[in-house]
Chain A
Amino acid sequence: GQNIDQPTEMTATEGAIVQINCTYQTSGFNGLFWYQQHAGEAPTFLSYNVLDGLEEKGRFSSFLSRSKGYSYLLLKELQMKDSASYLCAVPNSGNTPLVFGKGTRLSVIA
Chain B
Amino acid sequence: DSGVTQTPKHLITATGQRVTLRCSPRSGDLSVYWYQQSLDQGLQFLIQYYNGEERAKGNILERFSAQQFPDLHSELNLSSLELGDSALYFCASSPQTGGLDTQYFGPGTRLTVL
Contacts and interface: CB of A to CB of B under 8 A. Distances in A.
Interface of A: 30-31, 33, 35, 40-45, 48, 50, 87, 90-93, 95-103
Interface of A: prevailing SS? loop
Nearest to A42: B105
B103 A44 contact: no
Contacts, number: 63
Interface stretch (B64-72, B74-82, B92-100): B92-100
Contacts of A31: 99-100
Contact of B57 (A44, A45, A95): A95
Contacts of B56: 95-97
Interface of B: 2, 4, 33, 41-43, 45, 48, 55-58, 88, 90, 97-108, 110
A98 B99 contact: yes
Contact of A91 (B41, B100, B105): B100
A97 B105 contact: no
A18 B95 CA distance: 32
B98 A91 contact: yes
Contacts of A96: 45, 56, 58
B45 A98 contact: yes
Most chain A CB within a 10 A radius of its CB, from B90, B97, B99, B110: B99
Contact of B58 (A35, A95, A103): A95
A31 B99 CA distance: 8
B99 A41 contact: no
Contacts of B101: 97
B2 to A, nearest CB: 7
A82 B14 CA distance: 36
